[in-house]
Amino acid sequence: MIDDVSRRFLVAVFTYNKQFHNVVAVSKADYKNCDASKPIATWSTGNDSVVLKTAGHHYFLCGFPGHCAAGQKVDIRIAASSDAPSAAPTPEPAAGGGSKPSSGATAAPAPHPNAAPQALPAGSSVAASLLSLAAAVLA
């Protein structure tokens, strides 16, 4: 019998200019200190999909000198199954009116740099750019 939890995962997609950036998975301490000298893993294609299979925090930063200190880092926290919300929150309408995107998608504002990280339910997909640090939950 396959445990249902083992089939849940999250895909983080990092899109960036590979001439000037990369993606480095690091420990919590290295994330806090912006230290890319002991990477857990490194990606450098400019369009990297990273499968995250475990609940908890996953720390990523740009390994180019000075980029992490300038804010090019992200902490992705995956909620355990029991922590996941039962329903996704309803998006608020965009300020200033205007028409909705034709795909039916709603653009999410970038999080404030000092905002507490939010947990994502297992099975979600995240698109993150180290250049803009914008994250959007995709169904």
DSSP characters for 34-45? T--SS-SEEE-S
| pLDDT score for 10 | 86
pTM of the full structure: 0.59
| pLDDT score for 16 | 96
Say how far apart CA 58 and CA 52 lie, in whole Å: 8
| pLDDT score for 58 | 97
Instruction: Classify residue 35: in a domain, yes or no.
Output: yes
| pLDDT score for 57 | 96
* Low-confidence stretches of the chain (pLDDT beneath 70): 1-7, 82-139
- CATH number of the CATH domain containing 39: 2.60.40.420
| pLDDT score for 83 | 54
Distances (CA, A) of 125 to 98, 115, 139: 27, 20, 7
Total domains in the chain come to: 1
Q: Tell me the residue range of the domain where 46 lies.
A: 4-81+101-138
Instruction: Classify residue 94: in a domain, yes or no.
Output: no
